[in-house]
Amino acid sequence: MKHGITACEWCLTECNNEDLQCTKCGGPIAVLEPWVLQCGWCSSSNRRDLTTNCKSCGGELPHIPGTPRLPEPPVAPRFLAPGYENRVRYRKNPSFIVGAIFIFFIIPGMCLWPILIFPLIGVFILLWSLKKSKHKLNALKSGVPTRGVILDVFIDMDQHINHRNPVRIDYEFDTPDGTITDYVNVWDETNLRRPAGEHLWVVFNPKNPKENNIWPPLS
């Protein structure tokens, strides 16, 4: 099965990905648009049809949408790509950024109560965001691998950063205590091509399966 946008090499008619021959002239099919995926570890773009590891950080890349999932995640403790932990905790953590703004940016001339309340709110948001990111990292490092399946993929219109809406991926996975449903928001719109029913790997904390993540992470 070919992936990406395809067209006939002879008459240039665009064809379905499943077509083996041109529906117009019977000519061979060529891939016009290669699969370019963003690395879930560092967000660098990679020709996924040419490599399995990121050219920038060396991290394992997600599988191409619509193809079989990758082999089972490595045995714990797992190596995380360089810089990924700081990215999850701080630079790509919207809640952490919001908390920092509440703490350090006080509008001059405000009365005493808002000046006291805003830093307190900021501290609460910071601690909550760091705890959440810690759970995510712990799942990737030492979580138990299990088979998961995508339930739905869509643009999440309820959230936006810099006028961009993330792609929300709803998924479920099995644990000894039953099936868990969760979701992740990602920014690489190539993930919109992932169909419902696509299989993936999930790593989770057996003591609290809500602490989980997709392996390898999506960007």
pLDDT tens digit sequence for 4-43: 556 776 777 777 766 667 888 887 766 555 688 999 999 9
Whole-angstrom Cα distance, residue 72 to residue 91? Answer: 29
pLDDT in tens, 184-212: 999 998 899 899 999 999 999 999 999 99
pTM for the whole thing? Answer: 0.77
pLDDT recorded at residue 108: 47
Whole-angstrom Cα distance, residue 181 to residue 151? Answer: 9
Nearest in space to 57 (alpha carbons), one of 41, 37, 35, 73: 41
Q: Do 153 and 218 contact (CB within 8 A), yes or no? A: no
**In 105-128, which positions are buried (b, 16+ CB within 10 angstroms) versus exposed (e)?**
eeeeeeeeeeeeebeeebeebbee
Provide the 3-class DSSP secondary structure of residue 154. Answer: strand
> Containing H/E element for 114?
helix 112-142
Whole-angstrom Cα distance, residue 211 to residue 76? Answer: 16
